[in-house]
Amino acid sequence: MHARTALAVAAALTLVTAGCVTINIYFPAAAAEKAADRIIDEVWQLREGAKPEAGGAPANGERQ
Amino acid sequence: MNILQGLRVALVALLLGLATLAFAQQGDLEINTPAIAALKQSMQQRHAQLAPLYASGAVGLARDGTVALRDASSVPLPQRAQVNTLIAAENADRAALYREIARANGRPEWESDVRNTFAQRWIERAQPGWWVQGPGGWVQK
């Protein structure tokens, strides 16, 4: 009985380890998009008119 | 019993490792390296010359993360060589940028993924009037 439980745990461990490796291999698409947008902002100077304000107001504050 | 205890310890250690890894995965990609900064600056300076070419439709944003001469006839003949040089220089910088980002994150094999991500974002963020390459060919935004 113990041997069977040990086997099940070992199998689970193997799966977890495999999952670990898989996670590490995956390309972080969301982080890459964020990085790309930051670089595009700078290269195309898209944030030039929207300088950060000292008051910490949200960047997308609307003006009526 | 000893085996089970050992396995339990190993499982806890693995889960802790997994949590650390998952946390690391949520972080940003490393883009703050001297090489990437230099490429950004070079591309930013070149953009002043490229922007009118995007607007006129002479140059478009291609699907593979490069820029391409889309309509040579809209460039006066004497300036065509200069435009081609500009395009070649921009594409060299872009290729280096994608490579450097992959390398800065310790994953040189991510280069093509980085390129694809950039290709989508360049096109997505192109200004109205610019030409971008869709699956079916060139379209004006």
pLDDT tens per residue across span A9-54: 777 777 766 766 555 568 999 999 999 999 999 999 987 554 443 4
Are residues B105 and B28 in contact, defined by beta-carbon separation less than 8 angstroms? no
Residue A24: per-residue pLDDT: 54
Residue A10: per-residue pLDDT: 75
Q: Taking 90 as the threshold, does the pLDDT of residue B128 lie above it?
A: yes
| Mean pLDDT across B43-53 | 98
pLDDT band at B9 (very low <50, low <70, confident <90, very high): confident
| Mean pLDDT across B114-138 | 97
| B42 vs A contacts (CB less than 8 Å) | none
Q: Which of B4, B21, B29 is closest, CB to CB, to A35?
A: B29
Q: Taking 50 as the threshold, does the pLDDT of residue A55 lie above it?
A: no
Q: Taking 80 as the threshold, does the pLDDT of residue B89 lie above it?
A: yes
**A44–B contact, CB cutoff 8 A:** yes
> Percentage of chain B with pLDDT > 70?
85
Chain A interface mutation, best of B101, B118, B130, B141, highest count of A Cβ atoms under 10 Å: B118
Which parts of chain B fold into alpha helices (H)?
A: 2-26, 34-56, 77-104, 111-124
* CB contact set of B30 (below 8 Å; sequence gap of 6+): B101, B104, B105
What is the least distance, in Å, from the CA of B74 to any CA of chain A?
A: 23
Are residues A23 and B25 in contact, defined by beta-carbon separation less than 8 angstroms? yes
Residue B65: per-residue pLDDT: 98
